[in-house]
Amino acid sequence: MKKSKSAKVQSQQQNGHVLPFKFAKLLDPEASWDKDQLGDVLHWIRQVLGLVCGLLWGAIPLVGAIWILVFLVLSSGIIYGYYAHILKIDEEEYGGHATLLQEGLFASFTLFLLAWILVYSLAHF
Amino acid sequence: MATALSSFRYGDSLVVVGISVCTAFLCEGISWLLIYRTSTYKSLRSSIDKASKKLESMKSTSSSSAAATSGAAAGAPAASSKKPSSRAKKMDRVETSLKESTRDLSLSKFKSGAVVAGVLFVVFGLLNSLFEGRAVAKLPFSPIPLVLKMSHRGLPGTDPTDCSMVFLYFLCSISIRTNLQKFLGFSPPRGAAGAGLFPMPDPKIS
C-alpha cells in the first residue's frame, strides 16, 4: 500500500528518533519528498550508476552493443527499486513512473558511454 | 604529462576530455557573468518556480475535489459547476503566466548565448585541427549506421569501432556540461523545462 509522502509529518522527531545526517533521508521510507528534491536524488543516483557501470564494463572488458541494453535495464531497475521499494513513494504524486525513470537518464547514458569507451581504449590497447 | 599520455595508444582521448572539462567550466563561468548573476534572471527563475508549484498544487486540488464530487450525492449542481470553472480559469491564468516567464527567460539567455556559442565554435575548430583524421578512442561496440556517421567522421578505413574526436566530444559535452549545470544549480527549472527523455544542457548557454 503506497503512502502519501508529501503531506506526511516527520514523526521521527516527535518520537525522539532524530535523523543525524541528511543522507539518512535517502534510505528513510518515512521521509517526505519535494518533487524537485526527489528528481535531483534520482538524477545523481543515475549518474553514479552510469559512471560505475562504464568503469566496470571498460575494465573487464565487456564488448558488444548488448551491454548498452544491459546497462539501461539495470540502471532503470535500480532506480525503480529504490523509489518503489526503499523510499516507498506514490509515483502518482511525482508525475508517474515515466517522469521518475527518465530523470537524468540521457546524461547518465552519455556518461556511461564516455567512461566505458575511455577505460576500454586506455586499458586494453 | 605528455610522456604519460603518449604511452597510451589512445591518449588523445584524455586530451579531448580535458579540453571538454575546461570548456565546460569556461562556458559556465561566462554564463554566470552574463546571465545568472543578473537580477532579471533571478526574478524570472523565481517566478517560474512559484508558478509551476502553484499550478501543481491547483492541479492536485482539482483532481482530488473532482474525485470527491463525483462520489457525492447530487446536492447543489449549480453551485458546484461554478467552482470548477473559476478554478479552471485560475489555472489557465497561472499557466499563461508560466509560459510567458519561460519565454522571457529563454530570451534573456539568447543574447548572452552568442558569446558562449563563439567560444564553443573556436574550441571545436581547435580540436578538429588537432585530431582530424585520427581515431582518438576505440569503441567497445559497433554503432548503428546513424551514430556511425558521427563516430567515424573523417576517419580513414572501414573499422566501425574507430572513434573520431567529434563523437567523443559530443559525449563529453552532454555528460559533463549537463552535470556541471546541475551541480552549480544552473539547469533550467523543471516547470519550464519540458525536456522529456533527452534533456540537453541548456542550449542558450551551451
CA atoms within 13 A on the CB side of B14: 16
For residue B84, give Cα distances in angstroms to A76, B20, B74, B90. Answer: 38, 52, 15, 10
Quote the minimal CA–CA distance from A66 to chain B in Å.
9
Q: Which of A41, A67, A68, A114 to mutate to test the interface with B (most CBs of B within 10 A)?
A: A114
Could you tell me if B110 lies within 8 Å of chain A, comparing CB atoms? Answer: no
> Is residue A18 pLDDT above 90, yes or no?
no
Which grid cell is B94? Answer: 497561472
How does DSSP classify residue B162?
Answer: E
Kindly report the number of other CB atoms within 10 A of residue B45's CB atom.
Answer: 19
Quote the minimal CA–CA distance from A105 to chain B in Å.
7
Query: What does the pLDDT read at residue B205?
Result: 46
Query: What does the pLDDT read at residue A62?
Result: 96
Could you tell me if B55 lies within 8 Å of chain A, comparing CB atoms? Answer: no
Q: Which of A49-58, B56-65, B127-136, B193-202 has the highest mean pLDDT?
A: A49-58
Contacts with B186 from chain A: Cβ below 8 Å: none
Contact present, B32 and B180 (Cβ < 8 Å): no
Mean pLDDT, chain B, whole residue set: 81
> Is residue A119 pLDDT above 90, yes or no?
yes
Angle at A27 between CA A7 and CA B186, to 5 degrees: 75
Q: How confident is the model at residue A16 (pLDDT cuts 50, 70, 90)?
A: very low
Query: What does the pLDDT read at residue B160?
Result: 94
Quote the minimal CA–CA distance from B198 to chain A in Å.
6
Angle at B72 between CA B69 and CA B75, to 5 degrees: 95
> Is residue A97 pLDDT above 50, yes or no?
yes
Q: Do B197 and A102 touch (CB under 8 A)?
A: yes
Q: Which of B11, B60, B175 sits opposite A111 (nearest CB)?
A: B175
ipTM above 0.85, yes or no: no
Which grid cell is B44? Answer: 524570472
Nearest Cα residue in chain B from A44:
B179
Express each pLDDT in B9-54 by its tens digit. 898 999 999 999 999 999 989 888 888 888 888 888 888 888 888 8
Grouping H, G, I as helix, E, B as strand and the rest as coil, residue B163 is: strand
Q: Do B10 and A43 touch (CB under 8 A)?
A: no
Beta bridge partners, B137, equal B163
Q: Which of A62, A113, A120 sits opposite B138 (nearest CB)?
A: A120
Nearest Cα residue in chain B from A104:
B199
The mean pLDDT of A88-117, rounded to a whole number, is 92
Q: Do A117 and B137 touch (CB under 8 A)?
A: yes
Q: Which of B60, B141, B197 sits opposite A63 (nearest CB)?
A: B141
SS (H, E, C) B133-156: CCCCEECCCCCCHHHHHHHCCCCC
Q: What span, in angstroms and rounded, lies between the C-alpha atoms of A37 and A43?
A: 10
The mean pLDDT of B133-151, rounded to a whole number, is 95
Q: What span, in angstroms and rounded, lies between the C-alpha atoms of B129 and B143?
A: 25
The b/e string for A11-47 (b: 16+ C-beta within 10 A; e otherwise) is: eeeeeeeeeeeeeebeebebbbbebeebbbbbbbbbb
Element (H, E) at A79: helix A66-81
Query: What does the pLDDT read at residue A36?
Result: 85
Contacts with A57 from chain B: Cβ below 8 Å: 140
Angle at A78 between CA A73 and CA A81, to 5 degrees: 120
The mean pLDDT of A22-38, rounded to a whole number, is 80
The number of helices, as runs of H, and strands, as runs of E, in chain B is 8, 2
Query: What does the pLDDT read at residue B4?
Result: 66
Which comes out higher in pLDDT, residue B191 or B44? B44
Query: What does the pLDDT read at residue A27?
Result: 81
Q: Which of A63, A67, A121 sits opposite B10 (nearest CB)?
A: A121
The mean pLDDT of A15-44, rounded to a whole number, is 75
Site of grid cell 586494453: A124
The mean pLDDT of B156-172, rounded to a whole number, is 94
Could you tell me if B8 lies within 8 Å of chain A, comparing CB atoms? Answer: yes
pTM of the model: 0.78
For residue B179, give Cα distances in angstroms to A84, B22, B34, B63, B125. Answer: 25, 14, 20, 35, 24
Q: How confident is the model at residue B63 (pLDDT cuts 50, 70, 90)?
A: low
Query: What does the pLDDT read at residue A21?
Result: 47
The b/e string for B80-102 (b: 16+ C-beta within 10 A; e otherwise) is: eeeeeeebeeebeebbebbeebb
Kindly report the number of other CB atoms within 10 A of residue B199's CB atom.
Answer: 21
What residues of chain A, 36 to 65, have a C-beta less than 8 Å from chain B?
36, 39-40, 43, 47, 50, 57-58, 61-65
pLDDT above 90 coverage of chain A, percent: 62
Q: Name the phi and psi angles at A75, rounded to 5.
A: -70, -40
Q: Which of B56, B60, B198 sits opposite A106 (nearest CB)?
A: B198
